Amino acid sequence: MYLTKIGAAIAFSLLLATSAIADANTACSPLPAMYHKLEALKAGKWQLADEALRQTLAVELLDCLSAPDPVLRDDLAFTAISTWMRAKQLSTLTLQRINTVLQPRLNTVELDAAGLGKPFAALTLAEVARADRVQKFLSDDELDQLITTGTKYLSSVRDYRGFSAPEGWRHGVAHAADLMMQLALNPRLSKAQADRLLAAIASQVAPAGEHFYQYHEGERLMAPVFYLARKTLHDNADWETWVASLMAAQKADEPTTQTSLARRHNLAGFLLPLYFSLQESTDAAQRARLLPAVTKALKAL
């Protein structure tokens, strides 16, 4: 039996309230008993009948999104919040609270020394954007602010670490790209807002320097572009200009360096999955808008 009875819910709430012991990196330092309760909730598919406790716990777990323990951060805290959002089990008030708590975290110069908090704030904000897409709860101004926060963060990412065995995922670029995808799918998106998404994505398709993407960042970055091309916001000329901007630094006769190899690798990692996705698309208008520019760019590689 999982936490469905009032007595168990009260015990969990008290445990939660007494276990958030702040340290230098995170305000989420759960006692072992609370950790086990979260694992029990996961085993029970996150079923929590106490409505008030579910709302409270969703907000309290936001501090665990920067926890150094990858199980607590990813498998428990993020998964719980995401599951409840997707099941429409969080109230509008709770969704608004999650949004207002997490956006400032992306705007801080440093969230945590390990660099874990911002990527998971971005990933959770992607779930916020999805919830608003499915059932609007953000005002137009609030949606625009989320676009501003998300694009600023994606453009600012310089920590390109992906996965490590002891620490789990960081994946700042990919998590921010997931936020871009959910925003790209929003039917309220304007052309000006879409252009801001595209500018942020372009900044990370082939970032300056010698970093080679190796954790499918290109596939995650291409997804919002693919969905934007389904909209009628941009015509062929717009897409030709945007894709050409990605290729501006690519020179046919440039010497082979780590920088040039990284750029070519990262461009291919973005363009190839976009090309295949467009080829498989049943939307002829989408293919006509974007596929010629992508094909031309691939030939130039």
In sequence order, what DSSP letters do the residues of the chain get, joined into one string? --S-SHHHHHHHHHHHHHH----SS-S----HHHHHHHHHHHHTTT----HHHHHHHHHHGGGGGG-S-HIIIIIIIIHHHHHHHHTT-S-HHHHHHHHHHHHHHHHSS-S-TTS-HHHHHHHHHHHHHHHHHHS--S-HHHHHHHHHHHHHHHHH------EETTTEE--HHHHHHHHHHHHHT-TT--HHHHHHHHHHHHHHHS-SSSPPP-SSHHHHHHHHHHHHTTSSSS-HHHHHHHHHHHTTT--TTPPP-HHHHHHHHHHHHHHHHHHHHHHH-S-HHHHHHHHHHHHHHHHH-
Are residues 29 and 125 both part of a single domain?
A: no
Residues 21 and 134 reside in one and the same domain: no
Across residues 153-177, what is the average pLDDT? 95
Question: How large is the average pLDDT for residues 230-238?
Answer: 97
> With contact defined as beta carbons under 8 Å apart, do 176 and 157 qualify?
yes
Q: Does residue 56 sit in the same domain as residue 205?
A: no
Please report, to the nearest 10 degrees, the dihedral formed by the alpha carbons of residues 9, 12, 18, 22 taken in order.
-120
What local confidence, expressed as pLDDT, does residue 278 receive?
98
Distance CA 193, CA 293 (A): 22
Kindly state the percentage of the chain with pLDDT values over 90. Answer: 81
Contact of 94 with 59, CB cutoff 8 Å: yes
CB neighbours of residue 167 within 10 Å: 15
Average pLDDT of the segment spanning 135-149: 98
Question: Which structural domain, as residue segments, surrounds residue 256?
Answer: 91-300
**What one-letter code names the amino acid at 196?**
R
When pLDDT is cut at 50, 70 and 90, the band that residue 112 belongs to is low
Identify the pLDDT of residue 251.
83
Let me know whether 35 and 110 are in one domain: no
Does residue 171 sit in the same domain as residue 73? no
Tally the domains of the chain.
Answer: 2
Residue 120 pLDDT more than 80? yes
- Does residue 143 register a pLDDT over 90? yes
User: Pick from 49, 72, 90: which residue ends a domain?
Assistant: 90
Tell me: do 163 and 19 sit in the same domain: no
The average confidence (pLDDT) of the chain is 90
- Which residue among 90, 105, 140 closes a domain? 90
Evaluate if residue 21 carries a pLDDT over 50.
no
25-54 confidence digits (pLDDT tens): 346 766 677 788 899 999 999 999 999 999
Residues 132 and 185 in one domain: yes
Task: Confirm if 106 and 152 have CB atoms less than 8 A apart.
Answer: yes
Residues 73 and 86: their CA atoms lie apart, in Å, by 18
**226 and 165 in one domain?**
yes
Six-digit token string for 8 = 């168990």
* Rounded mean pLDDT, 215-233: 98
Query: Structure pTM?
Result: 0.90
Give the least confident one: 109-113, 136-140, 208-212, 255-259: 109-113
How confident is the model at residue 37, as a pLDDT? Answer: 87
Mean pLDDT over residues 256-284, rounded? Answer: 97
